């Protein structure tokens, strides 16, 4: 299924609870659509939906930014997370794969977009400057690559690391989140507080 503008609108509406258009499609279309929507081995659709929801422009260059905010020119890296229905999100809410100190340096001015999906629902979209997790990632890389030239490492991060006034909660489906019990109580409390703080 091609991720053109129309399909991106359809996926975004569907993940945010507006399923009417998909419900009216024939069974073959619905089966194909749901296969893409709930594929836990591919983050392509979820990354595209996250950017589309925000109105950000997608970029395709390898090891570069995933997108850019058109109004500010801010480069962003998207970290979508998928959790199977009935499971709870772990403390590691996102990660950077194949990281080196050189790659981290290239990303030092990025914003990070974190999103969470459970089966066919978008639970949250948050944005924060990578500076909030930069130093911890840097120290992790240094520790892991010591004496191992060319080694690349995985850097995970927790929601507690970006619990800051610099965090923007763009979207939070608190009702669905509580119904399926996907988040811990402290995580839910943090998202609710940060979302409310921005709307005051």
Reported as a single tens digit per residue, the pLDDT across 55-110 is: 999 997 776 899 999 999 999 999 999 998 889 998 889 999 989 999 999 999 99
How high is the pLDDT of residue 149? 65
Q: Say whether pLDDT at 40 is over 90.
A: no
Q: Is the pLDDT of residue 146 over 80?
A: no
Chain-centre distance for alpha carbon 16: 14
CB 189 within 8 A of CB 174: no
Tell me the per-residue pLDDT of 129-143, one tens digit each, with 9 for 90 and over.
Answer: 999 999 999 999 999
**6: Cβ–Cβ under 8 A, 6 or more apart, which residues?**
none
Tell me what pLDDT residue 199 has. Answer: 65
* pLDDT for res 70: 94
Tell me which DSSP letter residue 190 carries.
H
Q: What is the DSSP letter of 57?
A: E
Instruction: Specify the pLDDT at position 107.
Output: 95
Q: Which of 3.40.50.2300, 3.50.50.60, 3.40.210.10, 3.30.360.10 is the CATH number of 5-199?
A: 3.40.210.10
How much is the pTM?
0.92
């Amino acid at each position: 299924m091609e991720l053109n503008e129309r399909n991106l609108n359809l996926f975004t509406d569907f993940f945010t609870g507006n399923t009417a258009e998909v419900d009216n499609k024939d069974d073959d279309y619905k089966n194909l659509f749901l296969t893409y929507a709930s594929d836990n081995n591919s983050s392509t659709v979820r990354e595209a939906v996250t950017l589309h929801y925000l109105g950000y422009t997608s970029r395709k260059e390898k090891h570069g930014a995933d997108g850019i905010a058109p109004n500010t020119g801010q480069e962003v890296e998207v970290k979508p997370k998928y959790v199977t229905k009935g499971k709870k999100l772990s403390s590691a809410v996102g990660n950077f794969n194949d990281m080196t100190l050189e790659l981290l340096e290239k990303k030092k001015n990025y914003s990070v977009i974190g999103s969470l999906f459970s089966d066919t629902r978008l639970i949250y979209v948050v944005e924060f400057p990578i500076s909030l997790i930069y130093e911890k990632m840097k120290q992790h890389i240094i520790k892991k690559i010591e004496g191992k030239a060319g080694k690349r490492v995985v850097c995970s991060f927790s929601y507690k690391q970006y619990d800051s006034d610099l965090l923007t909660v763009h979207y939070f489906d608190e009702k669905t989140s509580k119904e399926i019990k996907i988040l811990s109580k402290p995580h839910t409390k943090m998202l609710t507080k940060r979302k409310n703080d921005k709307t005051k």
